[in-house]
Chains A and B, each alone.
Chain A
């Protein structure tokens, strides 16, 4: 498979559930990103990883916990979410961290009930 993939594409979870979103990039990039996209709002950067080190945490609540075990994989662990966390979560990668072209996955549509 090529590019950036995300699983699952859709997820419905209750507020007490624990779930994880997965992102995988097949581009040999060294930086990976998590974004949140709510209706009619700009993409909101959540986390940036460079060479498996977190370099940016954009004031994200602790109920979102990222993990980057290697440069090809990125996870977002979800726990005790709120209904307002329902959104599209996009993963992206770039050759290195910075203001460079990013390659996006198709996103996970999350609904918190």
Chain B
């Protein structure tokens, strides 16, 4: 299992503000980087799967970038809303059966 780190562990955002957070991973043997959104008492849901260096993905107000050479991905939330409150997980796929998950960044949006 590869060491995937997410920072910060948690953050509080005022409604309407934008925010971003980081996923760091070992850059060797890279296959794919996944982002999941996990609301309390629900199932984790896939947001993005990125495979190419320089990839940028967007879904509504949420977007993500990928740098495989330096081993990091950013997730951005623009104009945060209370429904964006969740834990955001990143996971590294590296060519075997596994996804190696980070511990997550928990976002709380204050109205």
Contact = CB atoms under 8 A, between A and B. Distances in A.
B98 A99 contact: yes
Contact of B97 (A40, A56, A104, A107): A56
Interface in A19-66: 31, 40-45, 48, 50, 55-56, 58
Given A3-B43, A4-B43, A45-B98, A98 B4 contact: no
A55 B34 contact: no
Given A58-B1, A99-B31, A104 B43 contact: yes
Q: Which of B9, B44, B97, B98 has the most CB of A within 10 A?
A: B97
B97 A42 contact: no
Interface string B53-93: 00000000000000000000000000000000000010111
A103 interface: yes
Contact of B41 (A56, A99, A102, A106): A106
Contact of B103 (A42, A58, A107): A42
B21 interface: no
B10 to A, nearest CB: 10
A104 B9 CA distance: 22
Contact of A106 (B43, B91, B92): B43
A27 B49 CA distance: 19
Interface of B: 1, 4, 9, 31-32, 34, 36, 41-46, 49, 89, 91-104
Interface of A: 3-4, 31, 40-45, 48, 50, 55-56, 58, 90, 97-107
